[in-house]
Copies of this chain bind each other. A is one copy, B any other.
Amino acid sequence: MRIVALAGGIGAGKFLRGLASNVPPEQVTVIVNTADDMVINGLHVSPDLDSVTYWLGDVMDRDRGWGRRDETFRAMEELRRFDEDFAWFNLGDLDLATHLLRTRLLAEGVPLSHVAARIAERFGIVPRILPASDDPVTTRVTVVSMGRELDLHFQEYWVRRHAQDEVRAIRYEGATQARPAPGVLESIADAEAIIICPSNPVASVGPILAIRGVREALEERRDVVVGVSPIVGGAPLAGMADKLMPVVGLEVSALGAALVYEGLLAGWVVDEADRGLAPKIEEIVGVRVVVTDTIMRNDEVAAALARSALDLLGRTR
């Protein structure tokens, strides 16, 4: 069964571990958001690609969520001694190796998709990990801070300023010019199931959909697309999606998240906490909804959740 997953960071990483244990992993293609990528202190950092890679490669720090297990932070602690301002995006010493490799290869002209494959190979990952695009796409956030409008990189808004600013607008810079990475449209066209992971719909999945041709390709495959709500009981499980969804006119709920994907979905998976919303979502979004435990405390829950998503797809046909 050829499966495509659209993925952001940590939530996707957890979910994908469950998915890859349910199906032959070589049948899985993961299309990953790159709009959080940034160059910081000279290094090209790809937070979502790395989260997915580290989770699938079983080298993630499960408690912290991001980064590598058994990590140390000597380089960044030392950089902080030079300048506090340069160390707001924390990178572990092991993690730095990934960024050094990526930065070097990109500078040599290797496309990001090849770099991602090479990094995945190092961790023995069988599913195919594809950046959504080899071209630059960047989520920019317009905020108001002390009466002034600021245009921030998503990571500056999110990590550096802790999503404290009032957000006026979000845009995916470069998305309409970006070409999907080789294999993205092909794998979508060829998939027997397409899963939208429980990722931030605005910050993580939104940029993927904004890339030229991706939304259209998914629309054509609507009958095999199922999504997992990242919103449980009116709040995101992780991250700060609640800050961004209202900016684009979305209610912070399992319904609001489903509406991002209106016209793209056959099925939608919501948490037990949102059982009451299920009929309304079915009616408004026009999808089949299944209710299950979506709080991925461990790999077993993630595996059951992935199974529910795939089963739902079976039942929608």
Contacts and interface: CB of A to CB of B under 8 A. Distances in A.
Q: How large is the interface on A (under 10, 10 to 19, 20 to 34, 35 or more residues)?
A: 20 to 34
A108 to B, nearest CB: 10
A94 to B, nearest CB: 5
A78 interface: yes
From A94, A103, A118, name the one whose CB has the most chain B CB atoms within 10 angstroms.
A94
Interface in A61-109: 72, 74-76, 78-79, 81-83, 86, 93-94, 96-98, 100-101, 103-104, 107
From A41, A76, A94, A104, name the one whose CB has the most chain B CB atoms within 10 angstroms.
A41
A103 B42 contact: yes
A317 interface: no
Interface in A15-73: 40-44, 72
A148 interface: no
A86 to B, nearest CB: 6
Contacts of A40: 104
Given A42-B42, A43-B42, A93-B93, A100 B75 contact: yes
Interface of A: 40-44, 72, 74-76, 78-79, 81-83, 86, 93-94, 96-98, 100-101, 103-104, 107, 118-119, 122
B103 A74 contact: no
Given A42-B43, A43-B42, A72-B72, A78 B104 contact: no
Contact of A42 (B75, B104, B118, B119): B104
A208 B79 CA distance: 29
B75 A96 contact: yes
A97 B72 contact: no
Contact of A104 (B74, B86, B100, B103): B86
B107 A42 contact: yes
A93 B42 CA distance: 16
Nearest to A102: B42
A74 B72 contact: yes
A94 B122 contact: no
Contact of A75 (B97, B107, B119): B97
A317 B86 CA distance: 50
Contacts of A81: 97, 122
A81 B82 CA distance: 29
Nearest to A74: B93
A100 B86 contact: yes
From A82, A101, A103, A118, name the one whose CB has the most chain B CB atoms within 10 angstroms.
A82
From A40, A42, A43, A78, name the one whose CB has the most chain B CB atoms within 10 angstroms.
A42
B122 A93 contact: no
B93 A79 contact: no
From A76, A86, A93, A122, name the one whose CB has the most chain B CB atoms within 10 angstroms.
A93
Nearest to A97: B78
A44 B43 CA distance: 11
Contacts of A83: 101
A145 B243 CA distance: 61
B74 A122 contact: no
